[in-house]
Every structure is written in C-alpha cells, then in structure tokens.
Structure 1
C-alpha cells in the first residue's frame, strides 16, 4: 500500500517502467524491487537483450521488456516512468512519457542546457503531468539535520563546500567536457539550494584538467556564487584527486551572524551557535527518498521539492559556472542566462504547442514560477497508462 501525505494507506504499489538498463538503471531496478511503494512493470532499453538480462539478474518475473517507452508502458499497465537514460536522451524519453499521460521521475541532470530544460517545463505545463528530477543527494538525514542547524545561524555570510575524489567511471562520464560540473557539482549546487532559500544570482568560475587526469574534459573547478542576500557560496572540487578525499556529498562549512555549522557530508554535523543539539531524522535516503517523494506527490496531488520548475535554477548554476569558465572567469548573471536560454528554447522548439507555451511567458522567471504541478486536482490514479 502507498502512504498518502496524511499517513493513510491508499492504493496498491505504483506500477512503473524503468527506462535505461545500464549501471544506474540496474541500481534503480534493485531499489524498486525491494521497495514497498513500487512494482516494476516494465524495463525499456534500446538494447532489449540488456533490458532482459538486467531484469533476470534482479530475479524478477513477469516484467515486460522492449525498446519503446509507450509500447511497454501500455503492455505492462504502468502508471509512471523512471527515466535513467543518459542525459542526452532525457528530453526524448520525458516527452514520449508525458504525452502518453505518464508522470516521470527523471535522473539528473534534467537536460544538457537550461534552454532544453525550459522546453521540458513548457511540455509539463501543457500535458499537466508531473515531471520531477531525482536529485537524490537531497535525501540524506544528516543533510536535513544540517539544514535545521543552518536555519539557526541567522543571516549568512559564507557557505563553503569542497568535493575531492578520484573516481573511475569508464563510459560517457569520462568523455564529458565538464565531468565535474555537469555530473557531480549539480548535486552539490542543488544541495546548496536545499540548504538555504538564499538563491544564487551570479557566478565566477574557473575549471581545468590536471595533467594526470583520466577524464577527457575538465575534472577540477572552483566557483564563487553571489547569493541574493549578498552572501557567497564558495565551491572547489575535483574528480581526480587521489588523497584526502571528501564525502561524495562534499564537505560543508556555513558561517552566519549567530555562529557556524559544518557537515562532513556523511554522519557528522557540528554547530557552534547557542544551543548546539542536532537532531537527525530517520527517513529513506538517496534514490529511495527521491522515489518516496515522487509517489507521495502523485497520491496527494502535492508538488515535490524537485519538480521540474524548481530544478531549473540548479541546472542554471551549472551552466552559469561553465559559461564563466569558458569566458576566462567572467561574471555570469543567472537572470541573464535564463532569458538567453528562453530565447534559444523558442528558436529551437519545433512542436507548436510547446513553442506557444514558451512564447506565452513574459520571462523565463515567469515560466519557472507558473503554478506548479499539484496546484490543481490530481489526475493520477493507480491504474495504467492513459
């Protein structure tokens, strides 16, 4: 049974189709197989044999496999789609699912560019379906405790985050132009936005690739974001640093008017600000937490924290940092980037209904502030694809 927002039990396990049977797809399939909230109805991959072998390896029976999202969803009676494809395929899969009446939980990053993300916001608008981004690193109990600690610091001066790792992930990640900023920093930038409502307004960034790096693109970067209050978010990271490695969630320090707080990214939260007790909740973490929020949103017609509109600014932080780096550290204003991205989205969009929705916005800021999913009565039931 699936818990509603008020704790009542309604409906059956949500029947889902997982799209993408690679390494991350396999991780999602294993999680969903043990989840009390889900039933894996289908698995889709262009390599159908891979989809079948991934299903078999998970010990699942009666799961439909195929290469078409809509066909498998209809055949399996699915009610939602989990999009775990490579980032370049996200928009295509999301569009097919949303136009078929299927809500989508999409792995990060939502899109390679903010312009493409805005096109997906418009698509979600016109279909009325939920499009949520799985920013799974928001869902850590110690981050929740750290967030409460930061809220007690009063006005902020500086937020510092450092991420240093040496990870080998052969495949598309090691061929990316910006493997740190696009594939990892998106998590840390989004965690900043989960940590404080003080939104970023501008950025200066430098990125580079150490001579020993096994990545094709820039595996290291430093960035300084100006926040709306005047505070600063100072970030430094690398994916090819073999010593003194931090947590995957980065190592955090926050300094405010009433004191300071830190989080090692794992299980140590410290506060030096009056009362220093830190209460750590006990909830599902990572992709388990992301999926639970997705299901709860569908069942209760509420808007999840990573609904597509809210996620655009996290992606804009990444694109702003990349743009600054490629322009020699030039200051990039997020609002300007958003408006330029809207113009690009309008120029690139070929679907008349999506183009009309984009053209109806007075600005990009208006578009991502339109009534979010869940502001109207829910259209999702526990049945199959519509």
Structure 2
C-alpha cells in the first residue's frame, strides 16, 4: 500500500510530455476529468504543443520544449507520452524530481530498463504506473466478476486478427505484432489468470502478402505458475472477418467457462449449464480508467494495477516471446529476468539506483504480482 499524497481539496496537477497522436488522446482524457488539472505541456516542437493544447480543451496552458523551461509550480504527476525510446530517460528524471509518473506503455524498450525504473521508483519513494489501457473496459470488468464465481482458471485463449495499415515505424519493426500489440493481450492474460508466467514458447512468421517488414503473425503459449496456460494466435495481416482490437477470448475455469468477443457483454456458464449473469458497471474505460485508478491511489492510498514492479512482468513476457521466436525454443521467464538484471546493474549510472538494484536478491522476488 502507498500513502495518500494529494489532499482532497484540490485537483491533481499534471504535466504532460508528448503532444503527438497518443498525446492528444491523453489531453482529451485529462480535459474530461474534473479531478485533474493540466498545468503544462511539453513537446520537442513547441508549436505542436501549443496547437494540441488549444485544440483539445487546454487553451492557455503553458507549453515548452523541455520540462525545466515550464514556469509552473511542481506538479503531482508527470504523464509520459513520449516515444518508447525516451520512456526511461523521461520517467527517471521525473522520479528524481519527486513526481509520480504515469507512463504510456511500454514501460521501457527493454526489461533491463524497466528494472532500472522500478529501482528508481523505490529510491524516489514515488509511484511509477504504466497505463495498460486495455485493462479498463466495463465488459472486461464484468468478465472478471464472472470468473470470480467460476473458480481457478486453467486455460485462456485469445484470437486476434486485424489488417491495419499504419505506415511509419510499426511497418519497419522486426516483431511489430508481438512488441506493439500483443503486449496488451499478454498483460491481460496475467491479470485474468491471477498468476505469473514461468515460460513462453512462440513461433512468428510473415505472410507472403504482408506489408510489414517484420513478422506480423505469431502463435504464443504461456505457462503460468498456477498451472494455467494461455494461447495467443494473432496477425496484423488478416483482412476480412476481423476480431475486435481486444481479440476474441475464451477462459476455462474449475466451475465453468466464459467467452468474450472483446467488445460486447461476456457470456459465462457453470458446469451444469446455468448462466453466470454479466454485471456491467459504470467504470471509466481505457485511458480514463488508468487515470482514475492513479488518482484514487494518490488521494486514498493503494497500488494501481499498472505499478512498475508488476508491469515489468508484462514486458518480460514479450521479451521472452521475441527470444523464443528467434531461437525456436521454450524460454523461461527466470532466464529473461536474470539476464535483464545483470544488464541493468552493468548499465546503471545513478549510484543510488544501482545500490537499490544490488539489494534485490533475487530479482524474481521483487517484480510481478504481490505474493
């Protein structure tokens, strides 16, 4: 549990870094939440920042090309919406400055940098939370409630088939589907299984008609400590009969099964065939859900589900899948974590963060879901 840090008599003050496409999405999310106040916007292109702020409900908010050029009172939260390669530098600087950080996914480009950020969060005594926005859907929350009635989960499956033409960096990545998209489904599988992964096997490939340079299709099998298995089959080169962006799910549990098409109301039934009603609430969704969870922690205490120590494991599953696809073998999560830990120790330049990393023994006891 964390202690409250923001009193209830004022909004949570936020500085956002990044005013591109996803930055605009977050600007709209901030504008719609009366419990927060954007006090500054940073982007490498100041004109882009000014235009985005004015057009997305924050006219007059100070903008600058760097945080230290903003003439604002220290904010409560730095919202990191930079490109993934800048996540470590921006988040670690904000933590050193005493700010809570809410970061777009991925936490960092590598597990090693993710471990560095987890240690930096401990040294600073501040939360670092990753917005896994696809954890926040009302119909998904209804599915969680149904699964709670069905008992321990044994199997999870997700089919994901889309045919997007993004252009830009995604079409040049070595593993675009695994790194840029499947992290959502792999993260959600951790959440629904209620357990941490122990091994990953993956085969990736690229259809002959693909417009991606790297592998745009993959099959992944994840084994969890609980004994559950997750199978993911997906492609970004699958025109026709596309699934939702969340994929199509089936979950098998001790007391029955549930299915969810990723968009609509989930359906579940018990062993005897009786249905488990779907209770759909009014929870905030996507980025608004991630923001609301962080604000609640700042006001009332608690640890958001995307907290850095837990989120490192989602990054590690993706890294294990990429390694498995490259080497053609099953990869143990312990192998990924140990290699990343050694790299983090060797590369860390902040003495206090390096000492905190050294105090972790073993690293497996520090990251992932609380025991």
Query: What TM-score results when the alignment is normalised by the length of structure 2?
Result: 0.93
* Whole-angstrom distance in 1 between the partners of 2:123 and 2:247: 37
Q: Following TM superposition, by how much is the alpha carbon of 1:169 offset from its aligned partner in structure 2, in angstroms? A: 2.0
The CA RMSD measured in Å over matched residues stands at 2.0
Q: Which residue of 2 aligns with 1:331?
A: 330
Mark the CA change 1:175 to 1:68 in structure 2 (over 3 Å): closer, same or farther: same
* Whole-angstrom distance in 2 between the partners of 1:70 and 1:29: 20
Q: Which residue of 1 aligns with 2:312?
A: 312
Q: Following TM superposition, by how much is the alpha carbon of 1:311 offset from its aligned partner in structure 2, in angstroms? A: 0.5
3-state SS in 1 of match to 2:194:
coil
Q: 1:252 aligns with which of 249, 254, 275?
A: 249
* Whole-angstrom distance in 1 between the partners of 2:142 and 2:215: 33
Q: Following TM superposition, by how much is the alpha carbon of 1:151 offset from its aligned partner in structure 2, in angstroms? A: 2.6
1:65 correspondence with 2:79: no
* Whole-angstrom distance in 2 between the partners of 1:160 and 1:57: 41
Q: Which residue of 1 aligns with 2:52?
A: 54
* Whole-angstrom distance in 1 between the partners of 2:216 and 2:44: 30
On the 8 A contact 1:87/1:112 being kept in 2, the answer is yes
* Whole-angstrom distance in 1 between the partners of 2:133 and 2:118: 20
* Whole-angstrom distance in 1 between the partners of 2:25 and 2:151: 39
Q: Which residue of 2 aligns with 1:100?
A: 97
* Whole-angstrom distance in 2 between the partners of 1:10 and 1:348: 40
On the 8 A contact 2:54/2:60 being kept in 1, the answer is no
- The aligned runs of 1:1-386 (5 Å cut-off) are 10-72=8-70, 75-273=72-270, 274-328=274-328, 330-368=329-367
* Whole-angstrom distance in 2 between the partners of 1:199 and 1:77: 37
* Whole-angstrom distance in 1 between the partners of 2:131 and 2:341: 23
3-state SS in 2 of match to 1:36:
coil
On the 8 A contact 2:39/2:72 being kept in 1, the answer is no
Q: Following TM superposition, by how much is the alpha carbon of 1:15 offset from its aligned partner in structure 2, in angstroms? A: 1.8
Mark the CA change 1:230 to 1:349 in structure 2 (over 3 Å): closer, same or farther: same
Unaligned 5+ runs, structure 2: none
On the 8 A contact 2:250/2:257 being kept in 1, the answer is yes
Unaligned 5+ runs, structure 1: 373-386
